Amino acid sequence: MKDNVLNEKEKTLFGKELNPSHIEPVKLTMDSRIKFRCHPGVRCFTACCGNIKIILTPYDILMLTRRLQVPAHEFLQAYTEPTYLEKTDMPGVMLKMRAEDNKCPFVTPEGCTVYSDRPTACRYYPVGMADFREGGSKDADGNELTADEEKFFFLVKEEHCKGHEEEKVWTVREWREDQGVDVRDEMNKKWLRLVMRRKSFGHQAHLSEQAKRMFFMASTDLGYFRRFVFESSFLKTYEIDAELVEKIKTDDIALMFFSFDYLANTLFGAQTEIMKIREDKIREKIEEIKARQDEAVISALKEYEELKNDRGNGG
C-alpha cells in the first residue's frame, strides 16, 4: 500500500454516511496542514446540518440529555431514530431529521443550538479519522500495521462547503483540539471498539437478540443501565470493587465506562479486572449443569431399560 493514499476500504468516517468521491484520497497525519474555517459568515452556514445521518455515541447522548435536561428515554423518543451501527447488526440511534425540512432538530438560521454539546460526528467534519486498532490491523498487502499507522486522517471536501475557500490554516492536531474531538475520541474509544469488533468478526460469531438488546440499552440509556445494575441480581452475580459500586451509583461517566467493560465481557468474552462472576455463582452453575447431566443420564438409562424390557417381552 502506498503510504499516504487511501484505499476504498479506508474511506469511512464513523457517524456519517459519506460519498467516497468527496474524500480527498490522501492520508493525513496529526501534523498535516489543512486550510479551512467555518463561521457564521460563510455563504453555506448550516448547509451541512441537514439531510444527514448522524450516529450518536453513548457519550453524545449523555451530553445532549444533560444539555436539554431530559431523561434519556425522552430524548431518544423525541430526537432520534433507530439504526444499525457501521453496517453491522448492532443496534444504535441517529439524530432524527425534522419532517418539514429534513434538517437536524437542533439547527436554526443562527447556527447550532447545542453547539458546545454537539455530537462527535459534527465535530469531525471535515476531517475524518480511520482507526484500525480493532478489526484488522493489516494493510491491503497483509502487513501488520504499527499503532501509529493504524490511525490516520482524511479531508472531506464537498461542493457545498465553502469553508475550504477560507484562508485559515491549521494542523490536524490544532483542528481536532479546537473541535474537542480528542476528548470525544477518548470517551468513545471503548464503545467504538465493540462496534468494530462486531464488524470485523461479522456474523460468524453469534450474538443473541437478548445480547443485542442489552448493547442497545447500555449504549443509549444509562439511567436504565444503572437500574439494571442496582435493581436486578447483577451485583449478586458479579464481584465488583465496593468503591466502584459506590462511584457508579452517581457518576455517569464512570457508569458509562463500566458499561463498556461489561459489554465487552458479556458480548465478546473480553477479560476484565473490574468484574468477575462470584465463586458461589460459578459453583451454583456447575451444580446446575451437573444436575442436568445426571438427569439426562438417568433418563437415558431408564429409556434403555424400557427398550430392553420391551425386547425381552418380544417387543
| Residue in the structure block whose three cell numbers are 490516520 | 152
* Residue 178 vs 251, nearer CB to ligand SF4: 178
Query: Which of 6, 72, 90, 107 is the binder for ligand SF4 (CB under 6 A)?
Result: 107
Residue 46 within binding range of ligand SF4, rule CB under 6 A: yes
* Cell numbers describing residue 111: 447556527
* Residue 121 vs 229, nearer CB to ligand SF4: 121
Residues 274-313, one symbol each (x = binds ligand SF4 by CB under 6 A, - = not), give: ----------------------------------------
* Residue 160 vs 311, nearer CB to ligand SF4: 160
Nearest Cα to 223, choosing from 70, 84, 117?
Answer: 70
Contact 33, 170 (CB under 8 A): yes
Contact 157, 126 (CB under 8 A): yes
Residues in the chain: 315
Query: Which of 112, 130, 145, 235 is the binder for ligand SF4 (CB under 6 A)?
Result: 112
* Residue 168 vs 213, nearer CB to ligand SF4: 168
Q: Which residues contact 3 (CB under 8 A, 6 or more apart)?
A: 27
Query: Which of 45, 170, 224, 234 is the binder for ligand SF4 (CB under 6 A)?
Result: 45
Nearest Cα to 88, choosing from 183, 12, 149, 154?
Answer: 12
Residue 41 within binding range of ligand SF4, rule CB under 6 A: no
Residue 42 within binding range of ligand SF4, rule CB under 6 A: yes
Residue 235 within binding range of ligand SF4, rule CB under 6 A: no
Query: 3-state class of 20 per DSSP?
Result: helix
* Cell numbers describing residue 311: 425386547
Contact 280, 239 (CB under 8 A): no
Query: Which of 14, 75, 79, 106 is the binder for ligand SF4 (CB under 6 A)?
Result: 106
* Residue 65 vs 259, nearer CB to ligand SF4: 65
* Residue 19 vs 233, nearer CB to ligand SF4: 19
Phi/psi of residue 116, nearest 5 degrees: -70, -10
Which residues, numbered 19-38, are part of the site for ligand SF4 (CB under 6 A)?
A: 38
- 143, burial (CB in 10 Å: exposed 0-12, middle 13-18, buried 19+): exposed
Contact 195, 86 (CB under 8 A): yes
Query: Which of 122, 195, 255, 256 is the binder for ligand SF4 (CB under 6 A)?
Result: 122
Q: Which residues bind ligand SF4 (CB under 6 A)?
A: 38, 42, 44-49, 54, 104, 106-107, 112, 114, 118-119, 122, 125, 160-163
